[in-house]
A = this chain, B = another copy of it.
Amino acid sequence: MTRLRLVLVDDHAMFRAGVRAELGDDFDIVGEAANVDEAIRVIRETTPDVVLLDVHLPGGDARAVLEGCLSDVPATRFLALSVSDAPDDVVATVRGGARGYVTKAISGPELREAIQRTADGDAVFSPRLAGFVLDAFAGGAAEHDEEIDRLTPREREVMRLIARGYTYREVATELVLSIKTVETHVSAVLRKLQLSNRRELAQWASDRKLI
């Protein structure tokens, strides 16, 4: 059987050298690229079986590469390989068309297997990351965070300050209110969001990048 043909896309020459050293004997590395434009060109020219694709690249990200050549090389499978295990990165890259996503903490043998499975049509994910993708597909689309819509403008304003660690007294001073009014708003926010204290609120706001 002929060796699988690979393209490596990563802006770190050192990392590409590592992959070559670990995998060069088992796969045919037909091309390398260090940025988005180069990657698109090389992939089109070589139509490899699998592309190892770093998520963060000079001149764009993995999605830019996927958009630029996915439709031109239908037989090529893309395996994202990144230092980032951020849910946003994972979900965005998979939405863009990657067939798998593993972190660079992976070992040589594991990567070898991941590439083989990707070429076979499997979806390969580092254990912790599979959950993010499933979550995103399961819950993500419909709701649009109805919860925050139930807060009044004033409540949102108070909520933001509370989430930053202000005390009720400080919020009252900042917004020129009485402490009691702040208490009322905070209670309403906690009740509406079904949270039980300010720390959870800070977490909630941080998750939604509201601070």
Q: List 30 A-B contacts (CB under 8 A).
A: A11-B105, A12-B15, A12-B18, A12-B104, A12-B105, A13-B105, A13-B106, A13-B107, A13-B108, A14-B15, A14-B18, A14-B19, A14-B22, A14-B104, A14-B106, A14-B107, A14-B108, A15-B104, A16-B18, A17-B18, A17-B22, A17-B108, A18-B18, A18-B21, A20-B21, A21-B21, A83-B83, A165-B199, A165-B202, A167-B199
* Known contacts A83-B83, A165-B165, A165-B199; is-contact A111 B21 (Cβ 8 Å): no
Query: Which residues of chain B are near A13, meaning CB under 8 Å?
Result: 105-108
Residue of A18, A104, A167 with most partner-chain B CB within 10 A: A18
Q: Which residue of B lies closest to A11 (CB)?
A: B105
Residues of B with C-beta under 8 A to A14: 15, 18-19, 22, 104, 106-108, 111
18 other contacts beyond A13-B106, A165-B199, A165-B202, with CB at 8 A cut-off?
A12-B15, A12-B83, A12-B104, A12-B105, A13-B105, A13-B107, A13-B108, A14-B18, A14-B104, A14-B106, A14-B107, A14-B108, A14-B111, A15-B104, A16-B18, A18-B18, A21-B21, A83-B83
Residues of B with C-beta under 8 A to A111: 14
Measured as residues with beta carbon below 8 angstroms from the partner, the interface class of chain A is: 20 to 34
Query: Nearest residue in B to A17 (C-beta to C-beta)?
Result: B18
Partner of A15, one of B15, B20, B167: B15
Chain B nearest CB from A35 CB (Å) reads 11
**1/0 per residue A104-129: CB within 8 Å of B?**
11111001000000000000000000
> Could you tell me the distance in whole angstroms from the C-beta of A104 to the nearest C-beta in chain B?
5
Q: Which residue of B lies closest to A109 (CB)?
A: B13
